[in-house]
Amino acid sequence: MAKQDRAIRTRQTILSAAAKVFEKHGYQAATITEILAEAGVTKGALYFHFQSKGELAQGVLSEQDQRLTVPDRPCKTQQVVDVIMLHAHRLQTDPMVRAGVRLSLDQQAQDLDRSGPFLNWSQIMRGLLEKAQAQGELLPHVAPHETSDVLVGSFAGIQAMSQALSNYQDLDERVRSLLRHLLPSVILASVLASVDLSQTRGRTVFTELTETPAKKTNTPAGQNPSSGPGTDRPRHLTP
């Protein structure tokens, strides 16, 4: 068990180091030598877990996916908002997420499968929107499979703009503006009036996830836990 725990910690150390290097230099310019120096591990330890730079990059992309988790909400529109705004908050605070996003959008990474994060996030959004539709939260014309792609693609553009203009400092504000423009064409006004779209929502959800982990069950967005504070009703604040 001790060896297994040590191996898990070593793997995470390598991934964290790779994330910093990929974020700083991009996929093509990043080198195994730099990642080794950042991680402070031997070449043998690195290659035990990852056979190539490509595998390291895929590991970072997969790790980013694991951070798309929020507590379950009775209002699925609120859960959609929480997934998006939590991701925005983590882009500002989590090097692993920033590296994953940079890799996802890196058009020079020709030998890297960058489709995973887009497909995964779109699937999560679609699942939540389908549940929102079943609960009568959506406008009649909405097709969840289309709307999910629009939300994911729009966020990708907004975050890229924020990164270029302010290094993500204004991302919360830009994402809130995006949702205020898009959601009225998707969600019933009576539902939207009770959804928390405050600029600090991402930080609020992050705090909820990290401060009392023993008291809640965190599941991938769109899945229903059997119990836990994720079933609490969202705060009723006007957008």
Q: What is the pLDDT confidence band of residue 217, given thresholds at 50, 70 and 90?
A: very low
CA distance 154 to 139: 20
Which residues contact residue 122 at a Cβ distance below 8 angstroms, ignoring those fewer than 6 apart?
Answer: 148, 149, 152
78-111 pLDDT per residue, tens: 999 999 999 999 999 988 888 888 888 887 777 7
- Nearest CA among 65, 31, 67, 88 for reference residue 209: 67
Q: ∠ CA 73-93-62 to the nearest 5 degrees?
A: 70
User: Rounded mean pLDDT of 147-153?
Assistant: 96
Q: Give the C-alpha separation, 192 to 239, whole Å.
A: 8
Write down the architecture of domain 64-231 according to CATH: Orthogonal Bundle (1.10)
Distances (CA, A) of 30 to 12, 21, 22, 70, 171: 18, 6, 6, 32, 26
d(CA 100, CA 114): 9
Domain boundaries, the chain: 2-63, 64-231
Q: What is the architecture, at CATH level 2, of domain 2-63?
A: Orthogonal Bundle (1.10)
* Confidence check: pLDDT of 145 > 80: yes
